[in-house]
Structure 1
Amino acid sequence: MSSTRVLRSEWTKIRSVASTVWTLGLAVVVTIALGMLISLLVKNDFDNLSANERRAFDPTFISFAGMSLGQLAMIVFGVLVVSNEYSTGMIRTSLAAVPQRGKFLFSKIAVATALALVVSLATSFAAFFLGQAMLGDHRAALGDTGVLRAVIGGGLYMTLIAVFSMGVAAMLRSPMLALGILMPFFFLISNILGNVPATRKVGQYLPDQAGSKIMQVVSPIDDDTPYGPWGGFAIMVLWVVVAVAGGYALLKKRDA
């Protein structure tokens, strides 16, 4: 089967499964709505901030507060894109139609990544503009130093979360097992490791901790990370490459 036909087939699979479409929609709604709410709350409480808190005030990053939950929907999207065929048993049919397993996996990831990128960039820009509207006089402008990089970075961050999840799902095959590992890892374990002083130096190299750096315009006062926005982004990309490579290696090795 030609590469074009494989890509078209993967696109048909993704858009025909309601759960994958719904998870993308949920990521958009949650990210934007929570970002607007947090921005409004911060605006109303701005006068109570200390001098140090005002110096570290980052209106751009505040508008992305909803990504902490929106990324969970992107995780579900990434897992479902890869593991749906395993849970339904369609993987045997798919691999019979496309016996080149590398072409099969990377076509699936390429189509899902392109879709995730479009949705994530649109979500990031919407979250920024609506969040800044909620901040009123404390807002940032897209032309301010570092802001455009942070907004585009927000879209790239959410996309990479989805791709990382695809790689993990390809390794584990089971959607329940993949979600059972990824959800607590990003929502709980990573936050604990990144905020506890004894483990902070380890936590700052986890994919979400490092990747989210690209969305910051103003560094926190107590920030001691040894890398900048693009350095953190590179660390996240490395995690994604390892996950996808692991998924490919296991797909080649195992039976369907």
Structure 2
Amino acid sequence: MAKFLVLPGYLQSGKILAEKGSTFRKLMTKLNHQLDYIDPPVIIEKYQDLVFSLGDSEEECNAKWQKIVESNANRCWFQHSDTNGYVKFDESYNYLVKYLKENGPYDGIIGFSQGSGIMLTIMNNPDFNFKLCMSFSGFCFTVPADEKDDRININYQIEDPEEYNRRNIINKEYTQYYKNKPTTKLFNIFGDSDMVVPKVRSTFVNSIYPNVENFEFEGGHMMPNKKPFLRPLIERIQEVLESSD
């Protein structure tokens, strides 16, 4: 049995991610693996703080926001800011370190989207020795290599991985979180039609870590739920865990 900490994405709770990725969760728990889903620690206080609009009218926005709050989904690991980097990142990073030390040891971490973004930094921490980390729709904290380039255009208009890697670098404010280059096995899992975190952004991870294995599925920004894709993934998880014992 292996023990994994699971990190949800933006506007998600642990409960919501467990439900959305129910097939993966059931296949893992059937093999007696323990998945601990936790809630992102940063509370989003009002819908005006979101990075996108909830509707065309204030009434629509308020109604949707109320449902988000009632489901405990008004959470995140950080808020992006063009001027201040990733707001509340330090708070969330320290929260994770404390949680891992108090509730571990963990054999690995599983992150989805924003949860994967912070997972890809915490796996560098020398205090932890993970056997396997899994990034679903993940990304690194990058900025354009040329300051004159537009970050949004690069992320959503470039499809060639080599060109994308040439035109991006790790944000200098966060290089300390990627410098150790751990040999931990990293499964990099992404959808071929992801419009939130384009796959070229996820594959940038391959240029940062030395021990990455890629898994591409048909679909968008989601935890894949189809068994034909998940069963081979679960088999590889078993192989990695058994080889590290």
TM range (shorter): under 0.3
Structure ranking higher on relative contact order (CA contacts 8 Å, 6+ apart): 1
Which protein has the bigger strand share? 2
The normalised TM-score by structure 1 is 0.24
Which protein has the bigger helix share? 1
The normalised TM-score by structure 2 is 0.24
* Bigger Rg, which one: 1
